[in-house]
Amino acid sequence: MLQRLLNLFKKQPTLVQGAAKLPEGESRKMTFGDPLAGRGRDVILSKVDGEILAMDARCPHAEGFMTDGPLVDGRLVSCPLHNYHFDPKTGACTNAPCGKAKIYRTEQDGDDVQVYV
């Protein structure tokens, strides 16, 4: 019984079909959940070194949206508001004193990716 209650609080994965086909050094913004019900979350999926990574699409500094498309130097997600760059593997800002962006666990299965949001 206790385990079933604890499972209610675990993050459940969302399947993103074909996400592994994202080109190397690119990112795409996706919305998970139901934004109309206040439970939506914007996430940036990025492909770096052949791995699909997931990071919150809101900059921790001023809540600006990260850009999708080509990554800076093929490795970093950019927030255009103040030109901050974030490592999608760690969420760390690499060029300014800013907090970390939230990252999410991903599991790849062929071309599909499970994202734990």
State pLDDT tens for residues 63-76. Answer: 889 999 999 999 99
Q: Does the residue 7 lie in any domain? A: no
Percentage with pLDDT > 70 across the chain: 87
Predicted confidence (pLDDT) at residue 105 exceeds the cutoff of 90: yes
Q: Does the residue 47 lie in any domain? A: yes
**Cα–Cα distance measured from residue 60 to residue 73, given in angstroms and rounded to the nearest whole number:** 21
For residue 24, what pLDDT is reported?
97
Predicted confidence (pLDDT) at residue 116 exceeds the cutoff of 70: yes
**Cα–Cα distance measured from residue 105 to residue 117, given in angstroms and rounded to the nearest whole number:** 8
Q: Does the residue 3 lie in any domain? A: no
Domain membership of residue 34 as a residue range = 12-116
Q: Does the residue 5 lie in any domain? A: no
HEC letters along the chain? CHHHHHHCCCCCEEEECCHHHCCCCEEEEEEECCHHHCCCEEEEEEEECCEEEEEECECCCCCCECCCEECECCCEEEECCCCEEECCCCCCECCCCCCCCCEEEEEEECCEEEEEC
Banded pLDDT at 2 (limits 50, 70, 90): low
Count of structural domains, the chain: 1
Can you give the CATH number for the domain in which 61 is found? 2.102.10.10
Q: Does the residue 108 lie in any domain? A: yes
Q: Does the residue 54 lie in any domain? A: yes
Give pTM, 2 decimals: 0.86
pLDDT in tens, 8-30: 455 678 999 999 999 999 999 99
Q: Return the closest-CA partner of residue 53 out of 97, 84, 95, 86.
A: 86
